Chain A
Amino acid sequence: MMESLFIVAAGLALLAALLTVSAHNAVHALLYLLTMMLALALIFLMLGSPFAAALQVIIYAGAIMVLFVFVTMMLHRGELSLSEERRLFYFNMARGPLLLSAVLLLELLVVITQLPPEYGMQAQATGALSDGAGATSALVAPGDISVKALARLLFGDYLLLVVLAALLLLAALVAAIHVSRLPQAAPETATVAEPRPMPCTGTDTGTGKQTSDEEPR
């Protein structure tokens, strides 16, 4: 039962990933990518980590992909961008990437066939986590990783990495705020500079003042 579910989910993920690359409509491609992420979440769930599955849906599918769709929606130009995509992307372009991914696939096959059979994916996933969880590993049922065990791992063994990632995100946030503030400085100087050529028309200075008043709000 579990195996057939896994095969269906993995097959869906592969198919959706393929369609993501081959779809001409950018929004459709993003929807396929979303499907792939949901399939991955299902696989996480089957591997015994409901928390990772939930985060996959909430963060990747629910937040990051929404932003992708957001931007694509704004830049999409209907039929025009469709014909552009068709002109720009064709199968022969994919030869290089296909060759490179073929090498990766070959390596993956080698790795899988070299591993001992009992060291399957499930054993690897739960083994690594419950080992790190130390004392709680006895409480964690095989194939089910509790949020507590995960948190203990993140804020225990991998604390440094978590803090580094947080710092990186904070830096990115500060940079994003800085970048988004930059263009606002330009109109302000423009409204200050604007009234100077205005005085020839009496009423326009009033409107210029009004816009400069509204700016800081």
Chain B
Amino acid sequence: MTSLSQFIPPLVILVLLLLAAAWSTWLERRILGLWQDRLGPNRVGPFGLLQVVADMIKIFTKEDWIPPFADKVVFVLAPMILMISMLLGFAIIPFAPDIQIASFDNALLFVLALSSISVYSVMLAGFSSNSKYALLGALRTAAQMLSYEVFMGLALMGIVVLSGSFSLNEIVAAQEEQWFILSQPLGFVLFLIAGVAESHRAPFDLPEAETEIVAGFHTEYASMKFGMFFIGEYLGVIFVSAFISTLYLGGWQGPWLPPLAWFILKTSLFVLLFILLRAALPRPRYDQLMRFGWSVLLPLALVNLLLSALWQLSVGH
């Protein structure tokens, strides 16, 4: 039964996702411009929409340079790991009731596993570049992502307790009457913070803090390999947004509009929030970041889990 038509929907989703990630670079620059009272890229095509095409031509025609002092195999491998782990994540997202690439019971664990794997991309990029700035960026990333993964997992457990399942379909189904953002407000905030940290976006962009360590882990990268990190970051933003809307905002559920429209609406809301965060917040110092994580977020995540479990034991049954 493995016909060729089976591969078409995932392929369409893949292409659409890559396009969405590419155009969210334009969206970010445009909206940052708007919020910071300047124009942003508005020259190429209507509203500057074709800026992405120009950027792509530029990135593709650049020399694909590997530094002679780099660890070549690992250097090439690193951006691929990021792209693959981010794209794999979308496989389990239920975009609409009948649009989902793979549905299985342990989808939440799958996402946590993927976010663990994606740490390697940044670390290996930093190591293989054989340069001090890249190494510093990689070390920061490793510490940051390891710490924030802990709260991410713990914050998610609140949802698992309430819905009784690791499966995204069942979690969406469990939100038919009430979205989890209402019953899990603390878990939502914790997961949002952890999600921003995991996709290392501002204000948690210490791995690539350009004022301190040039460009962090991708200092030595150029051309399409840099492009992969770049697109991978935006894929990460879209993924975390889609994941949060699935977990806390009821996924595709909503009145009047078709499910897919609701899903895209919720996801774009979070993408905009990500951009707003970058526009509004300064970057914390590295030790502040770690301390905030371990001494504020971790206890809160544990309290959230405890309260959810108590609620489920006393009221839920």
Contacts and interface: CB of A to CB of B under 8 A. Distances in A.
Contacts of A147: 106, 166
A25 to B, nearest CB: 8
Interface string A1-39: 000000000000000000000000101100100100000
The residue in A31, A70, A147 that gathers the most chain B C-beta atoms within 10 A of its C-beta is A70
Interface string B82-108: 000000000000000000000011100
Contact of A58 (B109, B126, B142, B143): B109
B20 interface: no
A184 to B, nearest CB: 13
Given A62-B115, A70-B123, A73-B127, 5 more contacts: A27-B71, A54-B109, A61-B117, A62-B112, A66-B120
A57 B117 contact: yes
A78 B116 contact: no
Contacts of A61: 113, 116-117
B247 interface: no
6 contacts: A50-B106, A51-B106, A55-B109, A58-B113, A63-B149, A147-B106
A58 B156 CA distance: 14
A69 B123 contact: yes
B139 A54 contact: no
Interface string B61-76: 0000000000100100
B109 A51 contact: yes
A24 to B, nearest CB: 12
Contact of A78 (B105, B130, B138): B130
Interface in A35-92: 50-51, 54-55, 57-58, 61-63, 66-67, 69-70, 73-74, 76, 78
B119 interface: yes
B106 A69 contact: no
Interface of B: 71, 74, 104-106, 109-110, 112-113, 115-117, 119-120, 123-124, 126-127, 130, 135, 138-139, 142-143, 146, 149, 153, 166
Contacts of B126: 73
The residue in A28, A78, A147 that gathers the most chain B C-beta atoms within 10 A of its C-beta is A147
Contacts of A55: 109
Listed from nearest, the 3 A-B pairs whose CB atoms lie closest are A62-B116, A54-B109, A57-B113
A99 to B, nearest CB: 33
A62 B149 contact: yes
Contacts of A76: 127
A209 B209 CA distance: 31
B146 A27 contact: no
A205 B127 CA distance: 41
Nearest to B114: A57
Contacts of A78: 130
Contacts of B143: 70
B123 A73 contact: yes
Contacts of A66: 116, 119-120, 123, 142, 146
B102 to A, nearest CB: 13
B116 A34 contact: no
A38 to B, nearest CB: 8
B175 to A, nearest CB: 21
Nearest to A147: B166
A78 B127 CA distance: 10
Contacts of B117: 57, 61-62
Contacts of B109: 50-51, 54-55, 58
A54 B123 contact: no
Contacts of B124: 27, 31, 69
Contacts of A63: 116, 146, 149
A66 B118 CA distance: 11
Contacts of B166: 147
A70 B142 contact: yes
Nearest to B118: A62
A147 B153 CA distance: 16
B113 A54 contact: yes
A205 to B, nearest CB: 27
Contact of B135 (A31, A50, A73): A73
Contacts of A67: 142, 146
Contacts of B138: 73
A27 B166 CA distance: 34
Given A54-B109, A69-B142, A34 B130 contact: no
A27 B127 contact: yes
A34 B113 CA distance: 13
Contacts of B115: 62
Contacts of B130: 78
